[in-house]
Amino acid sequence: MTLSTAARLYLRPTRFVESPVGRDGEVARLADGLSWFAAYELIEVEDGRRVVQRDVPVAEVADDGRLAAIAARITAPRAPLHLGERVLRLDQPQVMGILNVTPDSFSNGVHHVGDPAGAARVGVDMSVAGAAIIDIGGESTRPGSASVWEGDEIARVVPAIERLARSGTAVSVDTRKAAVMEAALAAGAHVVNDVAALLHDERALEVVVRAGCPVVLMHSPDPANGPHGGSGYRDVLVDVYDWLEARVKAVAAAGVDRAKILIDPGIGFGKGLQDNLALLNGLALFHGIGCGIVLGASRKRMIGALSNEAPADARLGGSLALAIKGAELGAQLIRVHDVFETAQALRVWRGCKDAALIAR
């Protein structure tokens, strides 16, 4: 196999198969999870343009050291996350339940602004329904939403986090602000989920390094100013991959354990419908970065755009379709509003996967 020495190389797992049984050496396991594949799409990029795009059988990537290194990251197990008394394994898709305590949220938390006990009950109910972790936020990131003063954001999320943590629930805090991260972690949160990838607040990276906690780095085009800016992409899949890869390297170099870094391509953040669809179809490419993947597509506007402008509360079917799409392509955390329905869908999907492993 002859590859350009000047090109950047990418591998996207493709040709997924139901079972590896009887196919030793022909298939590889995606991030040590539940999906198996027989080939990679090899992409070579020079000067921002794809110059090669072709399928390569799994066995052939070992012939080139650069490809073998990427393939090793794609297939390597993702370390479990230790969240208080809980251990969250990333060898199968898990549900992250959304609990936004804001006045304009898609989630049930909107009914419990100023009622931390009620919000905590919703979080516990989501855990019972199948959420492995509850992601609580006090500032809306919907397009056009106003920024919230950090003191108000802390007042919204901390009392609920304290109650959830005492119940033994695994909690992540969805915030861009260092002061909110500090307060939430002190209250018992286990993970920081930042839509700005620790770039909005100059102290955010320092807080996460000092806490030693897992962190979710999400892509957005202009994170310092807001999650919905940007002016377009040359190649959205490659551009977002490169941005996330560079951000992971920077955060790891600053002192965050790479095994505790997860990535999120940021569906709907500074991206149009075609961008979002390209990211979803190409999601498996991001395993080449070597981190767990978070997919947050629940109730997003793209679902409405594809279904006669269905409003947010009528996008369950589309949300489930995207959740299964993400699971099939190896996403480890599926961030959703509708926990019970998503957990059920994933259990049925898992049942089909398990059945396929039984040799006939």
For residue 288, give the 3-state DSSP assignment: helix
Average pLDDT along the chain: 93
Identify whether 353 is a catalytic site residue: no
Alpha helices in 226-290 (DSSP H): 236-253, 273-281
Query: Which of the following is catalytic: 176, 247, 335, 353?
Result: 335
- Structure-token pair, residue 177: 């602000």
Q: Which one, of 203, 127, 189, lies nearest residue 159 by Cα?
A: 189
Beta-carbon contacts of 188 under 8 Å, excluding residues fewer than 6 positions away, are: 84, 161, 162, 164, 165, 166, 171
Query: Which of the following is catalytic: 300, 315, 325, 353?
Result: 300
pLDDT in tens, 292-309: 999 999 999 999 999 999
pLDDT in tens, 240-299: 999 999 999 999 999 999 999 999 999 999 999 999 999 999 999 999 999 999 999 999
Exposed / middle / buried, residue 250 (Cβ in 10 Å: 0-12, 13-18, 19+): middle
How many C-beta atoms surround the C-beta of residue 23 within 10 A? 12
Identify whether 335 is a catalytic site residue: yes
For residue 271, which amino acid is it? K
